[in-house]
């Protein structure tokens, strides 16, 4: 499963990308607003040091303007993926942009039939929001399972990009459910490689090694 980072903080992105484990980046208007910077400048900077998929979201709600904004965003760099909300107009815009050869991430997906329509429109990625469904008392991961089943049965090429990830358990469950990718807050990514038993074991190993008085170098 590919791992994306969900942030517009350039410093945090560079630190994450330095691990060699990051496959893509997702941003949205809220994340850009928090940075206080120019939207297109942030996307251009990220694409300048990272060649994986970088999702940049349109701000319009009508199809013609979404299409115009999508074309403008795609000009920033070859690895920009235009991010479009899953609405009627959004699906119209997705079909046109995909037909023009642009990568599109259809976001704010909350049902399997929405995901079906996004795949029929040719979306590169579909972003089901797991955590927000959990917040409503629903089982968000069930949506990943349903989408996976539909895409496999009908041989759709759209990648499932699990979003609204809150915990390492979400990452594990998304991988088991068949998500192709998951986009994570930096805090969740950092938590993936931590475990108290790992830290305890390492502490003991270092103590034992120090007792030998040896050096590898």
Exposure on the CB side of residue 100, measured as CA atoms within 13 A: 17
DSSP states along 79-146: TEEEEEESSHHHHHHHHHHHHTT--EEEEEE-SHHHHHHHHHTT-SEEEEBHHHHHHTTS-HHHHHHH
Q: What pLDDT shows up at residue 71?
A: 98
Ordered domains of the chain (ranges, CATH) = 2-212 (3.20.20.70)
Q: Which of 83, 95, 102, 159 is catalytic?
A: 83
Alpha-carbon span 9 to 201, nearest angstrom: 33
DSSP states along 13-29: HHHHHTTT---EEE--H
Strand partners, 125: 105, 159
pTM for the model stands at 0.94
Q: Residue 83 catalytic?
A: yes
Q: What pLDDT shows up at residue 95?
A: 98
67 sits in which H/E element: helix 63-74
How many CB atoms are closer than 10 A to CB 214? 7
CB 5 within 8 A of CB 16: yes
pLDDT in tens, the chain (217 residues): 999 999 999 999 999 999 999 999 999 877 777 778 899 999 999 999 999 999 999 999 999 999 999 999 999 999 999 999 999 999 999 999 999 999 999 999 999 999 999 999 999 999 999 988 878 777 889 999 999 999 999 999 999 999 999 999 999 999 999 999 999 999 999 999 999 999 999 999 999 898 899 999 9
Alpha-carbon span 5 to 186, nearest angstrom: 6
Q: What pLDDT shows up at residue 88?
A: 98
């Amino acid at each position: 499963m590919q791992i994306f980072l969900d942030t517009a903080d350039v410093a945090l992105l560079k630190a994450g990308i330095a691990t060699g484990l990051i496959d893509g980046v997702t941003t949205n208007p809220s994340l850009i607003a928090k940075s206080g910077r120019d939207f297109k400048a942030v996307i251009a900077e990220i694409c300048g040091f990272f060649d994986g998929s970088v999702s940049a979201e349109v701000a319009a709600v009508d199809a013609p303007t979404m299409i115009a904004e999508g074309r403008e965003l795609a000009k920033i760099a070859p690895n920009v993926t235009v991010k479009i909300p899953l609405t009627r107009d959004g699906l119209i815009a997705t079909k046109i942009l995909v037909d023009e050869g642009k990568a599109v991430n259809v976001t704010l997906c909350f049902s399997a039939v929405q995901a079906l329509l996004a795949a029929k429109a040719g979306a590169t990625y579909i972003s089901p929001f797991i955590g927000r469904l959990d917040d409503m008392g629903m089982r968000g991961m069930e949506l990943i399972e349903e989408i996976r089943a539909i895409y496999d049965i009908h041989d759709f090429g759209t990648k499932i990009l699990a979003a609204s990830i809150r915990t390492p358990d979400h990452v594990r469950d998304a991988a088991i459910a068949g998500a192709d990718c998951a986009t994570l807050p930096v805090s969740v990514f950092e938590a993936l490689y931590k475990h108290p038993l790992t830290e305890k074991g390492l502490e003991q190993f270092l103590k034992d090694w120090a007792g030998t008085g040896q050096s590898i170098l």
